[in-house]
Amino acid sequence: MTQGRDTAAGAPEHSGAVVISVDAMGGDLGPSAVVDGIARAWRADPALRFVVHGRESELTPLIAQHGLAGICTLRHAEGVVTMHDKPAQVMRRGSDTSMWSTVESVRTHEAAVAVSCGNTGALMAVSMLRLRKLPGVNRPAIASFWPSFNASGWNVMLDMGADVKADAPDLLTYGLMGASYARNALGLERPRVGLMNVGTEEHKGNAELRAAHELLSAAQERGGYEFIGFVEGNDLPSERVDVIVTDGFTGNVALKTGEGTAKMASRLLKEALTSSWLAKLGALLAMAALKRLSARIDPRRANGGVFLGLNGTVVKSHGSADATGVAAALNLAARLARSGFAERLAARVASAVPAGQDAPSGEASNESAK
């Protein structure tokens, strides 16, 4: 890996700070949006410090422009993982890339969390290669927030596309990890976990889902969650569930369907409110309410899918994220780091997975699990 250089004479003071490793080169909008997001996140939380990875010639002036030299350490990495690169190629020949360098900082404990806007498949592949899976985890998962009517405003859904397959033990592990994520990210003491199916009746679904239903039900006390049984697609934004468990194929289709539906609704609403002078007048009178609605459904607020099941925390920002979206992902990363999420997740999975499912030799203490 290409050796890095700091933006100042020495690395910024990290004592007592949360250090986040940032891939500055992977997003669709380029490093300027990422550095702008870093500046916004730091202004909202001055205790943050950053290790920024990418091409020094591009990043040094951007960091200086925002006055971030004192809180950023720059690690030069010449290579860039594009959205068209195949994960296997990046695993074999990507050690000089900003993505690889970003994950490496978490592996060496230079930073607590990694954040990247880059290629999802490549990021998961590099993260699994460098960080390895937690004992008890067969398939890592991507967890994302879903807008809901709950008091927090969000539900957690996983897997959102890390792996299209998931058998019953995998779905149990997703439930354990999703509940831990909801506790630490949303402050829920005992999250309600539901399993996605084509109906809520216990006899619905295939044999794998019915087996997962039994496992999730049996593990709810050890896992510290309340299992509410099967949920359907119309429960995604509902207030009867906090964590929705499904395989990566279904989760990714649901995610893309939700994004497309939201865009369609926004476009139709805009067309309706500008269709006549009377409609425009009504829109003007309702401007305050429309702004509140827009802010609540703004997908940038929920930017940041978390890779669960690894020896370290990785946050995947949307590839098209602007500065606001990048800042949201960085703020999420900071919350997880401060909560000790990685350690709590490892303890929870180790203490609750069934014996024989790649279980660790020493059982973690339930007191440290959350």
pLDDT tens per residue across span 279-329: 888 878 787 877 776 666 655 566 678 999 999 999 998 888 889 889 999
Per-residue pLDDT at 102: 95
Mean pLDDT confidence for 162-186? 90
pTM of the model: 0.81
Q: What is the mean pLDDT of the chain?
A: 85
Closest among 307, 326, 284 to 106, alpha carbons compared: 307
Q: What tens digit of pLDDT does each residue of 88-136 get?
A: 989 988 889 999 999 999 999 999 999 999 898 999 999 999 999 988 8
Distance CA 191, CA 155 (A): 10
Q: Report the range of poorest mean pLDDT among 5-14, 71-80, 82-91, 131-140.
A: 5-14
The residue among 228 and 285 whose pLDDT is bigger is 228
DSSP-based three-state secondary structure for 101? helix
Residue 269: is its pLDDT beyond 90?
no
Return the beta strands (E) in the chain as ranges: 18-23, 48-54, 72-76, 113-116, 141-147, 154-158, 192-196, 226-231, 243-245, 305-308, 313-316
Of 40 and 270, the one with more pLDDT: 40
Strongest mean pLDDT among 6-10, 246-250, 361-365: 246-250
- Residue from 50, 104, 83, 29 nearest 314 by CA: 104
Cα(360)–Cα(308) distance, integer angstroms: 17
| Nearest residue to 120 (alpha-carbon basis) of 159, 154, 171 | 159
